[in-house]
Each structure stands twice: as structure tokens, then as C-alpha cells.
Amino acid sequence: MDLESTRLNYVPLGMKHRPRLKVPLKACECHSHIYGPEPLYPFAQGPNRNHHPTTTVAEYRAVLDWLGIERAVIVQPVAHGTDNRRTIDAIQEFGPDRARGIANCTPDISDRDLVAMNAMGIRGVRISGTTPDLPHDKVAAFAKRIAPMGWHIQFQDDGARALEWLPLLRNLPVPVVIDHIARMPVGMKINDPNFTALLKFLEGKERWLKISGPYYGSAGGPPYADVVPRITALAEHRPDRLVWALNWPHPGYPMDDKPDPVACIDILLDAVPNEGVRNAILADNATKLYGFRD
């Protein structure tokens, strides 16, 4: 696809202006979801499943092209449970050079199925604190199974309880990726014990964090100024272990009040003033973590 012609001639739904930040070549958006349509891709039932209206790869790709981003990581939404077909099919629509994926699994998935998903571009398994299809007491054993494929564990939970869940992730034999700035809550300062524990955790081998979802921890709207000090502290501490993500289509927010993707990337201009560090967060680190070709 001609990225530049797309950016010039098509404005994705909800976009009001272009980003101020110019992304580097091979920039990667590391966490978004594709939903439905039903009944082709049925939603799972149960609490905290965050069902969402249908979204398409074409819509998502238009957002990426508007931002100038070439690569994507598509994360299985908890709404679709452990039926990973929607995510795997989306990867194939993008093509193997442009997309990777993160699956949602239960502990009893077969090794054969894991190998098959690896061949289709899956590179990790997510764990959600609200809907743990992979229970915490099964994580260590499961991590041993996926280690030979080079997969990682992607983790999301309430940052106000980081001191409780960080020990679960410390001694795993695979890389660990923490979502959405660890979901640190509104008002949390960078000297809070939960945040300082997160910084310490990132000093370990193959521990990563996504700069994404600044709206989760902000008391106001864009430009999310109260989240900037957290991102700055992270970038000063471990710039080599950070990747950037959009969390499109921003599940949990009503269709008529979605966060602005442009604000979610332009925050890096304020939080990470060094262009070289920004380029690492936007491109180089993701190339390594997800196994893209240079």
C-alpha cells in the first residue's frame, strides 16, 4: 500500500487533524483489536468481556496510514475469548511482513495448536486480570511451554495493585510485556511504591512495557499532561524496553466519545523529547520484540 497517498487522500472516521510527530520508518503500533462480525466470529459470554461493535482491518489500517505507521500487533480481544480466529485472520489480511498477533489461551490448549498459531504470526499470550482465561497459578507452567517458540506473556491488571502482581511475572522463562503504562490510576505520582516497583521490575531481563492508553491514567483529556511525567520517567529509566501502542478502537469507550489516536501518539513529543529515543520506542524496540525483519 502507498502510505503517503493514503494519508493525503483519505481521512479515517473520527480524525480531526494530523499528528505533529513524524514517525520513523518501520514504526509499529503494538496493541489494537479487531472485532466481529458476528456470527462469523462469535463473542464469548461472561463478565468483563467488553463486547464491541464490528471493526474491520480496513478501518484499522486507515488509522495507521493516517499516522504514518507501517506495522501492527493485533491483540486478541477478551470479547472473543479463546477463539483466536478473528485475530489470526486479521494478521493474514495485513500480511506477515506488516503484522503480528497476541493470542488468548487456556492452559489446556494443545502444543499442536500453539505451533500452528506461531506459523500464523502469533508471538505471545495475553493475561487479563479481569478475565483470566489463563489463571495466575498456571502461568509459570504455561510459560515453559511457549518458551521454545520465543513467545512472551502479555499482562494487564490494575496498577494500583502492582506490588501484588509483579512477583507473579518475575521468574518466568519468557519475556514479559506489561500493557498500558501498567494501568497506573489517576493521580498516582512517580514516587508511589507501585510505580517505583514497576521501574525496578523493568531492570530485569526481557521485561517490556507498552506506552499506550494514556487516557486510563489521566484526570482530563488530551494532551494527557498528568501522564507525561510517568512516560518520561520510564523513558529515562529503560528506553530500550518500551514500545508504543494505540489500543484502537479503545474498548470501553462509547462509539461517539472515543479517544483521539493523534493525541495518543503526540504525547511522545512532550514526554520523550529525544528523537532517537522516540524512534526506538516507535520502531526499533518493536522490531526486536515481535520478530519483524529489519
pLDDT, position 11: 62
Q: Mean pLDDT, 10 residues at a time, over the chain (294 residues)? A: 42 81 98 96 89 94 96 96 97 93 97 98 93 91 98 98 97 98 97 98 97 97 96 98 97 91 97 98 98 89
Domain range holding 141? 3-7+24-290
14 within a domain of the structure (yes/no) = no
Domain CATH for 138: 3.20.20.140
Q: Is residue 214 part of a domain?
A: yes
Cα distances from 73 to residues 31, 41, 79, 175, 255, in angstroms, run: 5, 19, 17, 16, 22
Domain presence at residue 103: yes
In a domain, residue 136? The reply is yes
Q: What is the C-alpha separation between 277 and 283, in angstroms, rounded?
A: 10
| Beta-strand relationship, 99-103 and 207-211 | unpaired
Q: Please, are residues 94 and 120 in contact by the beta-carbon 8 Å criterion?
A: no
- Does the global pTM surpass 0.85? yes
**How much is the pLDDT for 49?**
87
Residue 10's pLDDT is what? 56
Q: Is residue 16 part of a domain?
A: no
- Residue 88 covered by a domain: yes
User: What does the block give as the cell for 167?
Assistant: 512477583
Domain total for the chain? 1
Give the Cα-Cα-Cα angle 247, 40, 28 (nearest 5 degrees): 25
Q: Which bin fits 74, alpha (ψ -120 to 50), beta or left (φ > 0)?
A: beta
